[in-house]
């Protein structure tokens, strides 16, 4: 069967309406959800759906301690607290006992300190059939993620879990789509060489 807009052509060629909402292409290791942020500034997702693409979200009904930082392409990236702390410890060990000097503020290694400092602890609440992610106020006020009533896009892919304002996500995807044809072979090559 082939998809035509929000319809699917059946075996007889007859157009059959497809269910509305988010769809996952079967067999893909990535997924996008469009979710309205509830009045408590939470995003709720089906547990089984998120686990299918983000393996570190475990199914045990307990809180997951996480950290949210600015995402490399936009939005915010959420990762387990332990992974973030391990990066921080490695950085501090490499820094040693010498504090940063004012003349070093333009160095790339100072940017990493800025990124490590621009992080918020968050808790992902895992329930029997869903997860809840409460979006921290500083990120909402900075327009990195939507506030209550806004539309969020959640992207999951392996260890990557991102939350974006929906408009910013779609603007970024439009930019990516413009280079799709020319960039695709390079992307495949990069994947084969990773």
- State pLDDT tens for residues 52-97: 999 999 878 889 999 999 999 999 999 999 999 999 999 999 999 9
Its pTM stands at: 0.82
What are the C-alpha distances in Å from 63 to residues 6, 120, 122, 126? 37, 16, 10, 6
Distance CA 8, CA 42 (A): 33
Which CATH superfamily, name and number, covers 27-165? Transcriptional regulator MraZ domain (3.40.1550.20)
**HSE (CB half, 13 Å, CA atoms) of 136?**
20
- State pLDDT tens for residues 144-173: 999 999 999 999 999 999 999 999 999 999
**What strand order describes the sheet that includes 7-9?**
2-4, 7-9, 15-17
- Per domain, the residue ranges of the chain are 27-165
List the structure tokens of 45. Answer: 């997702």
List the structure tokens of 143. Answer: 């327009």
Distance CA 69, CA 169 (A): 16
Q: Where are the alpha helices (DSSP H) in 19-78?
A: 47-51
Distance CA 146, CA 169 (A): 12
- State pLDDT tens for residues 87-138: 999 999 999 998 899 999 999 999 999 999 999 999 999 999 999 999 999 9
């Amino acid at each position: 069967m082939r998809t035509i807009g929000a319809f699917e052509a059946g075996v007889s060629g007859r157009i059959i309406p497809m269910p509305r909402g988010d769809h996952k292409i079967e067999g893909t290791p990535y997924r996008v959800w469009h979710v309205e942020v509830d009045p408590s500034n939470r995003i709720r997702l089906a547990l089984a759906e998120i686990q299918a693409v983000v393996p570190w979200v475990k199914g045990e009904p307990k809180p997951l301690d996480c950290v949210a930082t600015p995402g490399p392409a936009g939005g915010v990236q959420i990762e387990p607290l332990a992974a973030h702390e391990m990066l921080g410890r490695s950085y501090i060990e490499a820094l040693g006992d010498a504090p940063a000097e004012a003349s070093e503020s333009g160095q790339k290694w100072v940017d990493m300190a800025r990124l490590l400092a621009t992080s918020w602890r968050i808790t992902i609440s895992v329930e029997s059939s869903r997860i809840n992610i409460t979006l921290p106020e500083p990120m909402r006020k900075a327009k990195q993620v939507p506030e209550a009533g806004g539309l969020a896009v959640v992207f999951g892919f392996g260890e990557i879990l991102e939350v974006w304002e929906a408009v910013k996500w779609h603007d970024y995807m439009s930019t990516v789509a413009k280079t799709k044809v020319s960039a695709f072979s390079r992307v495949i090559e990069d994947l084969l060489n990773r």
